[in-house]
Structure 1
Amino acid sequence: MKRTVTTTPEEPRPFPPLAGVRHRYVDAGGVRLHVAEAGRGEPVLLLHGFPQHWYAWRKVIPLLAGGYRLICPDLRGFGWSQAPAGGYDTDTRVADVLALMDALDLPSVRLIGHEWGAWVGFMLCARAPERFTAFLALNIVHPWPLHRRLVPQSWRFWYTALLESPLLGRWMLRRRPGFTRYLLRRGVVDRTVWENGALEEFVAASAQAGAARAGEALHRSFAVRDVARLALGRYRGLRLSTPTHLLTGERDVVLPPSVLGGGERNASALRAEGVPGCGHYLHEERPELVARAAVSLFEGR
């Protein structure tokens, strides 16, 4: 007997307002995901990173909604989506997105992803290339990094040791909002980009019980599974045929441009580029650049 999924958010919060955005809930293969949509035209799927949700795209949406149908889900455990006890590994998150596309009757889409959302994006494009016509990846390493470049930068991930620790990670997110606030602020070069209470929206959302548990599980799963796969070269068999543009900030405190090398054998359609004067949240600091890069990639310019 199939188990019924509980769909009511544990602590309902109002959606932050954004003109032209429509909200709905979609059953995506057994998990209920909240989806924010805007615009009309060819579909573009936007996948957020941590510790954000659909509202991460608030600056990009007005720039692209005139020509595209923008579909911005809250990934499992975040924002207004259901936060089940498990399923925060990359494989399940990939399955969630494909199930969402099926539920929305989307045979193929253009794709934009930031950080964790972009990591899922690489796996989506590698495993289901027929469903993604172009991919703009922001502030993430691709699955085929040169270890000699990545390993010396591993100190930059010190904060993940707190987030991935059982019980401690969720406690930090739920009871120490200053920690989440610090991560968001250190991730940008110009802190004034956090306008109109946006930073506090993400801090408050991350402090929800389900989201805090999800944030911990997400980081622990990546440390246990994905890092091991990277170290052992388990992604060498993956191939990326989707035209992909990878952007990161030259002052990204987590993943600087020096780690973007490699991948030529696995991804002939991958182009990587650093953006001067920007940090780990390109869509916050340079939304116009992100929108231009997306249009250029999507239209084959």
Structure 2
Amino acid sequence: MTQRHRYREIAQALHTDIDAGIHKPGEVLPSSRNLAEQWGVSRGVVTQALGTLVDAGVIISVPRGGYEIAPGYETALRASATRPHVILIGGYAGSGKSELGRILARLTHWPIIDKDTITRPVVEAALETLDRSYDDRESDDYVRIIRPREYEALASTIDENIACGTSVIATAPYLREFSDPTWAARTIAHYTAQGADVHVLWVRCSIETMQLYLRRRGAGRDGWKLSNWNSYIADVDTNFTPVLDHTVIVNDPDSEPLQDQARAFLASIGAST
């Protein structure tokens, strides 16, 4: 493709970036000089590409020679979108938070992001690199080095969904996070600024229910807990209460079924099932 015909390639790439949300409404696009350097073409070719997008109603020219997304185009792109929901589900190991997340996902068809699912292979490799068992979730190395990165990956994946206007269900213990007022305030502000409604669910159950579930699950990462049960439960607070506004879901044998509690919660936030 000759340089003079590359304007189509550039226009299509910019159009794709705008549709994907890489360039946000009101954001001024990179200058024609920067785009020319990025693509290795003349400024004239870039100007032609930008002119194509102007003619298509995708961008508009703004004072001082810049370009930004046309308000009408962005409105049309988001016409069918609704304000996304972010549901953060926390609870001790064995409480049933993952099951609740899956029930909510089946009812809403929203994506579920489970911390262990999206990070486990990398976490196991990192632990082995540190000469730890791949099932280790108790050592200082895991807590200090690896755990923060797990939650960083989870948060980034949530952000990707919100940027696309997609509601998301995230499951993780969130024990430290839900007890930290600074984290709570920062997280709520962050998601709210992105145009999302944030909901916190805390799944609560008895010690007996936790132990029963962990034994039935048989996951390697629960091995230390089960082998050192009395030591483990000494640090478990069955009455833990998140510092954020939240909904408690009780998951004991004599409790209301999780599906019924999930439906009631969704109805409370106006989410259709």
**Range class of TM-score, shorter chain:** 0.3 to 0.5
TM-score normalised by the chain length of structure 2: 0.39
- The structure in which a higher percent of residues are strand is 1
- The structure in which a higher percent of residues are helix is 2
Structure label with greater radius of gyration:
2
TM-score normalised by the chain length of structure 1: 0.36
